[in-house]
Amino acid sequence: MTSERPKARTPYSGGASPASRRDKLRRKVGDNVLGYAFMAAGIACFALFSWYPLVRGVILSFQQVNFVTDPIWVGFDNFKAIFDDPLFYTAWWNTLKFTVLALILGYLVPFAIAVILNEIRHFKGFFRIAIYLPVMLPPIVVVLLWKFFYDPGNGLFNTVLSFLHLPTSDWTQSPKMSMISLVLVSTWANMGGATIMYLAALQNIPGELYEAAELEGASVWQRLRHITIPQMRFIMLVLLLLQIVATMQVFIEPYQLTGTTNPDTITVMVLIYRYAFTVNNDFGLAAAMSVLLFIVLGVFSAVYLRVTRDQD
């Protein structure tokens, strides 16, 4: 009778040796060094162009500074000063009016145009380029073009109204028309981008849904309400947030068309410009106003994302 000899037991090593772990770590770092380099470059760009200006702006809001003499720490005096400025409340009210009017036109009109373009069977490319063309123009060119349209003397709009024997208007000087005039410029210049995004979302909706709805006898409004809008809910929610944030920071239109002294169109961004460059020449006041705008937009965005989180 023979018995099998037990195999020799290998001593327990307690895992890989330190030299093996170092080689493994070295190979891992070597394989990913290019990725780490790209990540470091991205972090450096964010730190230099986003995080540093943000921190620097917060520091400036507690200083009296004109970048000529040494800055002076003033605590919360800048915030007290802008709250005591009557233009502070005027600027916020005008910004709110501009945002509401811009959303009525700039949010609903591109959606309606996208629905119409989606139904057009001929000259699709032409109409899409025509809608998107204003977006490719520099903002200052757009504003100067509309400045000619609004000219009370030989402007395009008043010329057409005179030809039709209709009363002309002081488009940018009238307290009733000046804000609407700014909204029209902003809407015309920016609706092309929103229209193209709406159109892309519309083309991703399965055609079978519309075919089934037509077989059931659904009207155009019923198809729009029960198929189009629910299928586009996510892109509509995102665009609504982006447009509110963008319109709250309107600057070029009031700055170029009505100036920085018109109380009917002065906005938060225009008031920041006044604090920094024209009236006060105090970048501390401008920074304090910017911090308040940042807080308002940040809180609004957080609440909006929290409320709409489960609706996408």
- pTM score, two decimals? 0.80
Rounded to the nearest integer, the mean pLDDT of the chain is 86
Comparing C-alpha atoms, which of 178, 199, 13 is closest to residue 110? 199
Q: Which residues pair with 72 in a beta bridge?
A: 64
Closest CA to 265 of 257, 275, 274: 257
How much is the average pLDDT of 45-66?
90
Contacts of 213 (CB under 8 A, 6+ apart): 222, 223, 226, 227
What is the average pLDDT across 230-259?
Answer: 90
pLDDT in tens, 161-176: 989 988 888 888 888 8
Q: Which of 119-136 are b and which e, b meaning 16 or more Cβ less than 10 Å from the residue's Cβ?
A: eeeeeeeeebeebeebbe
Q: Which helix (H) or strand (E) holds 63?
A: strand 63-64
Phi, psi at 35, each rounded to 5°: -65, -40
Candidates 309, 167, 180; CA nearest to 254 is: 180
**Closest by CA position to 59, among listed 296, 280, 283:** 283
Share of the chain above pLDDT 90, in %: 32
The whole-number pLDDT of residue 149 equals 92
Q: Identify the pLDDT of residue 312.
A: 55
Per-residue tokens: 192: 């092309």
Q: Which residue has the higher pLDDT, 4 or 46?
A: 46
Return the structure tokens found at 293.
């705008």
Using alpha carbons only, give the angle 113, 119, 123 rounded to the nearest 5 degrees.
85
First vs last C-alpha separation in the chain: 76
Alpha carbon distance 287, 283 (integer Å):
6
Q: Please, what is the Cα angle at 306 between 305 and 309, to 5 degrees?
A: 75
pLDDT in tens, 56-97: 999 999 998 888 888 889 999 999 999 999 999 999 999 999
Per-residue model confidence (pLDDT) at position 124: 80
SS3 state of residue 72: strand
Distance (Å, whole) CA 267 – CA 244:
14
Question: Which residues lie below 8 Å from residue 55, measured CB to CB, with a gap of 6+?
Answer: none
Q: What is the DSSP letter of 263?
A: T
Average pLDDT (272-290) is: 89
Helix H or strand E encompassing 300: helix 283-308
pLDDT for 106 beyond 60: yes
Q: Is the CB of residue 150 less than 8 Å from the CB of residue 171? A: yes
Alpha carbon distance 187, 142 (integer Å): 11
Contacts of 95 (CB under 8 A, 6+ apart): 248, 250, 267, 268
Pairwise CA distance, residues 169 & 163, whole Å: 14
Percent of the chain with pLDDT over 70: 94
**Cα–Cα distance measured from residue 40 to residue 133, given in angstroms and rounded to the nearest whole number:** 37
Which stretch of DSSP H or E encloses residue 292? helix 283-308
Backbone φ and ψ for 85, nearest 5 degrees, come out as -80, 120
d(CA 3, CA 214): 85
